[in-house]
C-alpha cells in the first residue's frame, strides 16, 4: 500500500490558509469563526480526492485548487451543523472545542451557512470552460442537497428502523454524496466522456461506503484522542450504524469488501490512479 498523497494535502492547506471571507470590519468575527473550523486540520480527504483525480487524468492539480477547496468548505459547514446541540451535540471536533462551544450556537450556524455560500462563490471562480464549470457546480449542488448530503442527514435524524439496504442508501446520500462529487466534479471539468468516467465513478461510490463503515467502526473502537471527538456518539444517540446492524467483526469484513471493490474499480481507469488508491488505502487502514 502506497502512502497518503501528503503533497496534495499540503497544497490544499496552503490554499485554505489564504482564503478570506469578510469584506468589512462588521463581519470579521464571522470570518474568524469560519476559519476556526476550516483550519482545524485533518487529512482533507475530499479535496485531496479531487486533486488526485486531476493528476490521474494528466492535469495539473494546482489548476483545480478552487474547486477542491470549495469541497472542503462544504464539508466543514456540514461538520459545524452536525455538531450542534439539535443534531449530534458534540463538544469536540478535530481535537478542539466545536464551533458552537467556542462561539455560541447562533454564530456557529451562521459560520456554517457562510462556508456553504463562500464555497459556491469559490467554485464559480474555477478557471476553465464556463459550461463545464456550471455542470460541475450542478453536480456538487445535487450531491449536497436534498438528493444528497442534507437529505441523508434528514433520514439519519428521523428514521432508526432501516434495514441493511436502507442503511447503505442512507450513507450513500449522507456521506457518499460529497465523496463521489469530489471525484465527479473533476471528471466534468476535464470533459471526460461518459464511458471514461465509469471506473472513476464506481471507485468513488464504493469509497463513500468504505468511509462510513470505517467511521462506524472507529466510533466504537477509537479513543477520543484518536478521533479528535468523543467516541461512542452513535450509540449515545441510538443511531443505526454498520456496527449496530451487523456487529463489529462483520462490519470489519464489509469494510474489507468495500476496499477491494473500490480498488478493483480503478483497474479499468485510464491514467495513473496511484494517489486515488492511496487515499482508499488510508481510509481502510484507519480502523486497523
The number of residues making up the chain comes to 288
- At 261 the pLDDT is 97
Q: pLDDT tens digits, residue range 209-235? A: 999 999 999 988 876 666 665 665 666
Instruction: Mention every residue, 6+ apart, whose C-beta is less than 8 A from residue 63.
Output: 54, 127, 128
Decide if 92 contacts 228 (C-beta within 8 A): yes
- At 231 the pLDDT is 60
- At 235 the pLDDT is 60
Domain boundaries in the chain?
A: 6-285
Q: Is the pTM of this model over 0.75?
A: yes
- At 163 the pLDDT is 86
Which CATH code is given to the segment(s) 6-285?
1.10.600.10
C-alpha cell at 249: 467483526
Distances in Å between the alpha carbon of 83 and those of 79, 117, 128, 288? 6, 19, 36, 26
Sorting pLDDT into bands at 50, 70 and 90, what band is 161? confident
Q: pLDDT tens digits, residue range 36-82? A: 999 999 999 999 999 999 999 999 999 999 999 999 999 999 999 99
Amino acid at each position: 500500500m502506497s502512502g497518503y498523497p501528503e503533497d496534495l494535502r499540503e497544497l490544499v492547506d496552503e490554499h485554505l490558509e489564504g482564503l478570506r471571507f469578510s469584506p468589512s470590519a462588521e463581519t470579521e468575527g464571522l470570518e474568524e469563526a469560519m476559519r476556526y473550523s476550516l483550519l482545524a486540520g485533518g487529512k482533507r480527504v475530499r479535496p485531496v480526492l479531487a486533486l488526485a483525480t486531476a493528476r490521474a487524468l494528466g492535469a495539473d492539480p494546482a489548476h483545480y485548487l478552487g474547486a477542491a477547496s470549495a469541497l472542503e468548505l462544504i464539508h466543514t459547514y456540514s461538520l459545524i451543523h452536525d455538531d450542534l446541540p439539535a443534531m449530534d451535540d458534540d463538544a469536540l471536533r478535530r481535537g478542539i472545542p466545536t464551533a458552537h462551544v467556542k462561539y455560541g450556537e447562533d454564530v456557529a450556524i451562521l459560520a456554517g451557512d457562510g462556508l456553504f455560500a463562500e464555497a459556491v462563490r469559490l467554485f464559480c471562480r474555477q478557471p476553465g470552460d464556463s459550461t463545464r464549470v456550471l455542470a460541475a457546480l450542478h453536480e456538487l449542488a445535487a450531491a449536497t442537497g436534498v438528493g444528497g448530503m442534507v437529505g441523508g442527514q434528514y433520514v439519519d435524524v428521523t428514521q432508526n428502523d432501516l434495514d441493511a439496504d436502507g442503511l447503505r442508501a442512507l450513507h450513500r446520500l449522507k456521506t457518499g454524496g460529497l465523496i463521489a462529487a469530489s471525484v465527479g466534479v473533476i471528471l466534468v471539468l476535464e470533459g471526460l466522456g461518459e464511458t471514461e468516467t465509469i471506473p472513476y465513478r464506481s471507485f468513488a461510490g464504493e469509497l463513500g461506503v468504505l468511509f462510513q463503515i470505517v467511521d462506524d467502526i472507529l466510533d466504537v473502537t477509537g479513543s477520543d484522542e484518536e478521533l479528535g471527538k468523543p467516541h461512542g456518539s452513535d450509540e449515545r444517540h441510538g443511531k443505526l450504524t454498520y456496527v449496530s446492524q451487523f456487529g463489529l467483526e462483520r462490519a470489519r469484513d464489509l469494510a474489507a469488501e468495500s476496499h477491494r471493490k473500490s480498488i478493483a474499480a480503478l483497474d479499468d481507469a485510464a491514467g495513473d490512479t496511484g494517489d486515488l488508491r492511496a487515499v482508499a488505502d488510508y481510509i481502510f487502514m484507519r480502523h486497523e
